[in-house]
Amino acid sequence: MTGEPIPEEAYAAALAGLPSVGPGRLGALLAGRSPSAAWELAGGGASVAGGALIEDSAIRRACGGPLEVPKIAAAWAEAVAAADPARDWLALLAAGIGVTYLGAPGYPAALAGDVDPPAVLFWLGDLGALAWRRVTVIGTRACTGLGAEVASELGADLGAAGVSVVSGLAVGIDGAAHRGAVRSALAGGAPPIGVVASGLDVPYPRRHAGLWREVAELGLLLSEAPPRHAPERWRFPARNRILAALGEVVVVVESHAGGGSLLTVDHALARGIDVMAVPGSVRNPAAAGPNALLADGGAPVRSAADVLDRLGLSRERVAPAARVRRKLPADERRVLDAVDWVPTATSGIVAGSGLGALEVARCLHQLEDLGLVRRGPGWWERRVPPPRARR
């Protein structure tokens, strides 16, 4: 970029990579300043023991008081001296990673009015995904198979109804919801939106690297963390406020009592955002969180139709799963209804359907071909169908 001015976005990205910078300190640095002016302030902060930074009351508070400022100021000045924002900006462009900052023309309107907006955002994909109706689907990493199936079904059905699913791409409920949303997006549904706690070039968990790529290609990935930054522990609760802020409704599928998902719930309630919950068995520890929310007056989610009702959208826009079921022959519907979302013994399916063993076997194989059930040794269980599954 020899001879060309360095864009403000490059300085914003560089500020986000300073040592000991979290959302609060970054916001204080940028408050009332352009990113380039904030960069200059951070670079000269070591002079007179950080006097220029101490003079700013917001920075002083964000740093933990005047006694902490000199140490932080010295670290910032050293980092600024060693950095090359122009070089790093070219690397961002090469990786396809976009940058925006609070107050910039391209900053998402969905976050600009939040009580605690990210000062700097990195993104992959299409920021236009935020123009769709949005529902945040969250839950525990240690989910049950049933919980994962329900999350995936919600993701697919909401996406098919034109509602973008926002989640954190974590193991468990988050990943399941996004897999459903991805299937729907591939069939023409709403784009999925992921909010993550590491650099956009550092997929976490690693097993979700493929899912990250699919969400970025079909929708949008957002992060406050600069590239090459591994997910630090504090970034997850910080990320949760963005998950809450982006959802018009927050849906909790499974969460243990005191689980991290309830932090997102707290952020949503503080913002006046509706929280809904999927009811579960009182014997299921992973349903303790949603059941407690329901006991406190939260609205139940039996299917995506309940969420669409809360959004004021028509139920007719929903549920490819339900449409597939309606197209089945009567015998296959009876067999499908006898299969639970947890492993169900073949003998139980025969008894529940009221059909003969041979007819049940035939129907199960048809349902398996449609992706509606899957088999195990001596058992079958329900599955969420692919969006394109049709008779």
pLDDT of residue 381: 84
Burial (0-12, 13-18, 19+ Cβ within 10 Å), 311: middle
pLDDT for res 335: 92
pLDDT at 48: 45
The pTM (predicted TM-score) of the whole model is 0.80
Beta bridge partners of 250: 136, 275
Span 298-347, pLDDT tens digits: 999 999 999 999 998 865 554 455 556 667 898 998 898 888 766 889 99
pLDDT means per 10 residues in the chain (391 residues)? 80 94 91 92 64 77 80 88 93 95 90 94 93 94 93 94 94 95 90 96 92 95 94 91 96 92 94 96 94 95 94 64 72 88 85 91 91 87 56 35
What is the DSSP code string of 70-105? HHHHHHHHHHHHH--HHHHHHHHHHHT-EEEETTST
pLDDT in the model for residue 49: 47
Does the CA dihedral 254-204-373-182 come out positive or negative? positive
CA 191 from chain center: how many Å? Answer: 12
Question: pLDDT digits over 233-261, tens only?
Answer: 889 999 999 999 999 999 999 999 988 89
- Of all residues in the chain, the percent with pLDDT exceeding 70 is 92
List the one residue out of 6, 68, 72, 66 whose CA is nearest residue 37. Answer: 6
